[in-house]
């Protein structure tokens, strides 16, 4: 049943209210649709492909205009993390959530070194 529900879900909108995401006002949200109906989320390969699609979309939504501005760069990175978190939650897939958790934990361990 859960598999059928996931299959029926055609897209996940990645939304971010990060002000560096677009040139508009802070109240506007940039969005990208990530399609995954072609993926089998019960297989690790399908989960990895979906996660990569989400990361690419989050980076597109949250890109900064001037990477030399450290405050905008920090805001952009925060925006990407938040967008990925929201997209993963919106999919409602335990395997994707676990995959995201391992990626996030690996990033934290690397940052501590």
Residue-wise pLDDT tens digits, 49-88: 999 999 999 999 998 767 777 888 888 889 999 999 999 9
The position carrying tokens 């993963």 is 88
In angstroms, rounded to a whole number, what is the distance separating the alpha carbons of residues 91 and 89? Answer: 6
* pTM, entire model: 0.70
The predicted structure's pLDDT at residue 110:
58
Q: Is 44 exposed, middle or buried (0-12, 13-18, 19+ CB in 10 A)?
A: exposed
The predicted structure's pLDDT at residue 50:
97
């Amino acid at each position: 049943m859960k598999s059928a529900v996931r299959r029926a879900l055609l897209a996940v909108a990645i939304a971010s209210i990060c002000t560096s995401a677009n040139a508009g006002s802070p109240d506007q949200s940039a969005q990208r649709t990530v399609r995954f109906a072609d993926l089998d989320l019960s297989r690790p390969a399908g989960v990895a492909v979906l996660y990569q699609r989400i990361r690419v979309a989050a980076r597109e939504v949250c890109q900064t205009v001037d990477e030399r501005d450290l405050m905008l760069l920090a805001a952009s990175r925060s925006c990407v993390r938040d967008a990925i978190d929201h997209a993963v939650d919106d999919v409602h897939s335990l395997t994707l959530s676990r995959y995201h958790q391992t990626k996030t934990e690996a990033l934290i361990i690397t940052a501590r070194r």
